[in-house]
Amino acid sequence: MCGIAGIVQSSNRATKPISESVLKEMANTLYHRGPDDEGIYCQNDIGLSHRRLSIIDISNGHQPMHSARGDISIVFNGEIFNYIELREELIKKGHTFLTHSDTEVIIHLYQEYDLDFIEKLNGQFAIGLWDDNNKKFILIRDRVGICPLYYSFENNRLIFASEIKALKPALNNSLYILGPR
């Protein structure tokens, strides 16, 4: 179990900058989900935070994780059961891996298949993925909803997290919270 949280805002609207301290506070509420590591990425209109419970590739699985070029950033909670097979498929297509984590496999799948990468995943997951080249943010979870993912829209911002209480540091008294159905 890990914890993910973040804020994505529209750059063409007047909004205040994303605060690293708010991202840190969001991550702190998820400490019990991932006591092994913490990471924050804050760049322009995207802020991602992660709490990690180290299971796969304990020494190299730090998140948020970035592509080799730095143009794709991801926070991930869950497990991809078929990541070894997917990794082998991607290596045959010319991809080079820096880690043995299932998180990096997701980045390469996105690079290879764009949004169709989701169809290849077998597992339980919640993923926040930022594509800086296309200025596109993807927020998904597994089909059954095993990994929790809550989100809210407020003032041209998408705020998301693995638990509702992690949304609170970023909300400005908004009571409208969407989540699992």
In angstroms, rounded to a whole number, what is the distance separating the alpha carbons of residues 169 and 53? 22
Contact 64, 50 (CB under 8 A): yes
Active-site annotation holds for 2: yes
Catalytic residue, chosen from 1, 2, 41, 169, is: 2
77 forms beta bridges with 126
Main-chain phi, psi angles of 63, to 5 degrees: -130, 160
In angstroms, rounded to a whole number, what is the distance separating the alpha carbons of residues 27 and 30? 5
Give me the half-sphere count of Cα atoms (radius 13 Å) on the Cβ side of residue 44: 8
Is the peptide bond between 180 and the residue preceding it cis, with omega within 30 degrees of 0? no
Which residues are designated catalytic? 2
